[in-house]
Amino acid sequence: MIAIPSIPGFLTEPNGPIGKPVSRVDGRKKVTGNAHYAAEFTLPDLAHGCIVSSAIARGRITRIDTAAALALPGVIHVFTHENRPSLAWFDRKWKDDDAPKGAPFRPLYDAEIHHALQPVALVVADSFELARYAARLVHIEYEAAPHQTDLRANRANSFTPGKDKGGFQPPPKPRGDPEQAFLASPVRVDAEFTQAAEYHNPMEMHATTVLHHDDGTLTVHDKTQGVQNCHTYICNVFGLAKSAVRVMSPFVGGAFGSGLRPQHQLFMAMLAATQLKRSIRVELSRPQMFSFGHRPETIQRVALGADRDGTLRALIHEAVQESSRNENYVEIVVNWSGQQYACDNVRLDYTLSRLDVHTPLDQRAPGAATGVPALEIAMDELACKLGMDPLDLRLKNYAETDPNTGNPFSSKELRACFRHGAERFGWAKRSPAPRSMRDGRELIGWGMAAGVWDAMQGQAAAKAVLGVDGKLVVSSATADIGTGTYTVMTQIAADVLGLPIEEVTFCLGDSSLPAAPVEGGSWTVSTVGSAVKAVCDRVRSQLIALAGKLENSPLKGVAEEDMVFADSHLIVRNDRSRRLSITEVMRGSGTLSIEEEARALPYLLARARHTFATHSAVFVEVRVDEDLGTVRVARVVSAIAAGRIINPKTARSQIQGAVVWGIGMGLEEEAFTDHRLGRVMNHDYAEYHVPVNADVPEIDVLFVEEHDDMVNALGAKGVGEIGIVGVPAAIANAIHHATGVRVRDFPITLDKVLAGLR
């Protein structure tokens, strides 16, 4: 039996802010234009940098002529590999918290070109327009070398990576005899799935503004999901004292993973600021947002074998993905397939093929968003072959424990997701045969899929300062990339200390604050929220101790567990007339402020013996124009099990947004590489299609009750990724139901549907 801390009393206060649909505390700033992003800080004499990108995919620079650029009045300097200063020598100095195994890319390192759009020069000028103009005048000659950018052509030339990146375990060893069991199964599905490379494309383009202060210190406003990750990186690369630089990102205009690693605009801005001793801003253009990090193109095979009653007998899932020549980016892709369904004969394989591309980068639900849809389409195909309802097939093979490890789940309410989601959607009214539902010219299809994502937790610290006026400031160096961190942390702190939301301020996005990891993988509520709770618990204990010592205190001798905090008061649980305000306690004891710092760790013992995961069931209706092949998502129901939901308003938005990402992956997003040139051709928002308002219907989000006292002290698992995971498969399955056309190649554009209809 493992000792598990129980959900503490504060969460049972009925009127506490946890669980309330609180509007974003930073909302007013965002709707009035007063939220300031990385490119929106300035000092007098700010210089502007513009990056020149490589015109070839592989080879070397033979000549750089900067004379024409430098001849323009107002152009300050052009940085290239030929004139850069000496920087850190060893790869480990260039590593960051999200770096996979390998040698990180070094901008302006030498004449070699490793991938298309590689940054090759930085033009610095007095004005943005001038820098942009001068960048066009930098004349570069190349000697091109043959490149390989085509995963299909290189899939056979792949290797099996190891544990090459944090957060991802290599696939487990095969169990049973999957090949034999597959061949012996009476009903079989064996198919190949492909998915195009996708670019994060947050609305805010990556930018860095370095403010050079008179005392020589630097304030770096960077677009990042981890200020301390960037802080360590630039101190290592440029040999700077930690105290000489502060990295800030109070607001981040979306990221979805693009800000997990320090990107080259940060390097460029730091290079110019440290060399020129002045303030500078470097902002990428939208096409340059295709010059780093992407969800890798993937080819998968899923083979399922089942008995005629639907019992899974064999499950084989293989995936090959692209990585760069210099790093082993892994997202494993296949492991969730071994976890999601009970099956005795399983083989999961994952390989990488090196291409002449920049290193891929985690993008919303990395691995799961790619692998789970392939499995979930295969399950739908199997259901069709069996003549079984796809929902029943999933229930038939429901995994009560984690088949990959044999461990129990800390909690798993996927069954409730299926039940409530199906009920809300009206799944029971589905007519099972493909092409059996129609509305005029439109074929109607209903499809469903399940989803899964890991409920991770890292380590974080937080500081709290409670003033005698009853105002609380809590801080941690985490990020809010639109996820709602400001709001949710404010709620947790307000809940622990019984304060109104308005009396609590949460600070983040500043490298000088207590340590927090990058914001990603849905782990911030778990990681930072636990630290916020821990530090507020300490303040709470202090207040109780102070209150007990006051003369004539009505709270004398009351045990900590018999005290509740509400309305800025300390109150005896069973006698609410016995109470003191926080201000009374602090004034009475001559305490002007209470300052605490605390660090929170995962429950390691529980984590070693359980699997922690969020789950989802998603139901989609599509309408397909039979003549044109166009697909419209008409409605979506997403039922989510993610433990306690701290803020149903912001959590719902997270799920809705992730469903929109699923629509993008399912129907629209695709980076087209011209393999003759080795570069992405549709590198802007007009040609790289993301969902627009008219593509998105009402999205019905349900959170099912899920109690989990092992995941962390909050019982909350995090919701950033889970919303996308099942969506592309549910869309593909709905298209099949509507049309009878099975498309296994994302995105499902109209040409692929039409090809099947003809």
**Catalytic residue annotation:** 721
User: Distance (Å, rounded) from C-alpha 218 to C-alpha 724?
Assistant: 39
Q: Is 738 in the site for another protein (CB under 8 A)?
A: no
Phi, psi dihedral angles at 239 (to 5 degrees): 60, 45
Shortest Å distance, C-beta 228 to another protein = 20
Beta partners for 594? 466
In the region spanning residues 4 to 23, those forming contacts with another protein, defined by CB under 8 A, are: 23
Q: Which of 8, 174, 176, 254 binds another protein (CB under 8 A)?
A: 254
Among the residue ranges 127-135, 316-324, 338-346, 445-453, the one whose residues contact another protein (CB under 8 A): 127-135
Which string of x and - marks every residue 684-703 that binds another protein (by CB under 8 A)? xxx---xxxxxxxxxx----
| Binding-site member from 43, 77, 133, 473 for another protein (CB under 8 A) | 133
Q: Compare residues 543 and 620 and give the one whose CB is closer to another protein.
A: 620
CB 504 → another protein: shortest distance, Å? 18
Q: How far is the CB of 296 from another protein (least distance, A)?
A: 20
| Closest distance to another protein from the beta carbon of 31 (Å) | 4
Q: Say how many Å lie between the first and final Cα of the chain, rounded.
A: 61
- 25: which residues sit within 8 A by CB, 6+ positions away? 486, 487, 490, 501, 506
**Under the criterion CB under 8 A, does residue 717 sit at the interface with another protein?**
no
Compute how many other C-beta atoms are within 10 angstroms of the C-beta atom of residue 634.
17
Query: Residue 139 interacts with another protein (CB under 8 A)?
Result: yes
Least distance to another protein, CB of residue 685, Å: 4
34 touching another protein, by CB under 8 A: yes
111 in contact with another protein (CB under 8 A): no
Q: Which stretch binds another protein (CB under 8 A): 61-69, 178-186, 530-538, 729-737?
A: 61-69
Buried b (16+ CB within 10 A) or exposed e, 449-476: bbbbbbbbbbebbbbbbbbeebbbbbbb
Q: Which of 16, 18, 24, 508 binds another protein (CB under 8 A)?
A: 24
Contact 534, 462 (CB under 8 A): yes
Contacts of 692 (CB under 8 A, 6+ apart): none
Under rule CB under 8 A, which residues in 626-685 are in contact with another protein? 649-650, 652-654, 656-661, 684-685
The residue among 284 and 497 lying less far from another protein, judged by its C-beta, is: 284
User: How many positions of this chain bind another protein (CB under 8 A)?
Assistant: 74
Distance of CA 264 to the CA centre of its chain: 20
Min separation Cβ 49 and another protein, Å: 14
Q: Which is nearer to another protein, 592 or 694 (CB)?
A: 694
Nearer to another protein, 67 or 545 (CB): 67
Nearest residue (CB) to another protein, 422 versus 660: 660
Pairing of strands 631-641, 699-703: parallel
Cross-strand pairs, 463:
475, 597
- Considering only CA atoms, which of 269, 127, 125 is closest in space to residue 210? 269
Residue 540: beta bridge partners?
A: none
Please give the full DSSP string across 75-121, using - where no structure is assigned.
Answer: EEEEE-TTTPPP---SHHHH--TT--EE----TTSSSEE-STT-EEE
Q: Does 74 bind another protein (CB under 8 A)?
A: yes
The verdict on 253 binding another protein (CB under 8 A) reads: yes
Residue of 61, 108, 130, 546 interacting with another protein (CB under 8 A): 130
Cβ proximity to another protein, 77 vs 649, nearer residue: 649
> Measured from the CB atom, is 23 or 160 closer to another protein?
23
**CA count, 13 A, side-chain hemisphere, 626:** 15
Residue 141 or 560 having the CB closest to another protein: 141
Q: Which of residues 174-203 bind another protein (CB under 8 A)?
A: 201-203
CB of 415 to another protein, least distance (A): 27
Is residue 398 involved in binding another protein (CB under 8 A)? no
Determine if 608 is a binding residue for another protein (CB under 8 A).
no
Residues 312-371 touching another protein, rule: CB under 8 A, are: none
Sheet holding 460-467, edge to edge: 504-507, 472-475, 460-467, 593-600
Q: How many C-beta atoms lie closer than 10 Å to residue 626's C-beta?
A: 17
Examine residue 256 and tell whether it contacts another protein (CB under 8 A).
yes
The nearer residue to another protein, 153 or 203, going by C-beta atoms, is 203
- For position 482 contacting another protein by CB under 8 A, the verdict is yes
DSSP string, 25-56: TTHHHHHHT----GGG---TT-EEEEEEE-SS
Pick from 115, 202, 152, 259: which is nearest to 680 by CA?
A: 115
Is 29 a binding residue for another protein by CB under 8 A? The answer is yes
Contacts of 508 (CB under 8 A, 6+ apart): 250, 475, 476, 477, 478, 479, 480, 485, 486, 489, 516
Question: Should residue 283 be labelled a site residue for another protein when binding is judged by CB under 8 A?
Answer: yes
- Return d(Cα 697, Cα 706) in angstroms, integer: 27
Q: How far is residue 713's CA from residue 707's CA, in Å, rounded to a whole number?
A: 12
Of the candidate spans 136-144, 459-467, 503-511, 620-628, the one that interacts with another protein by CB under 8 A turns out to be 136-144
Total residue count of the chain as it appears in this document = 758
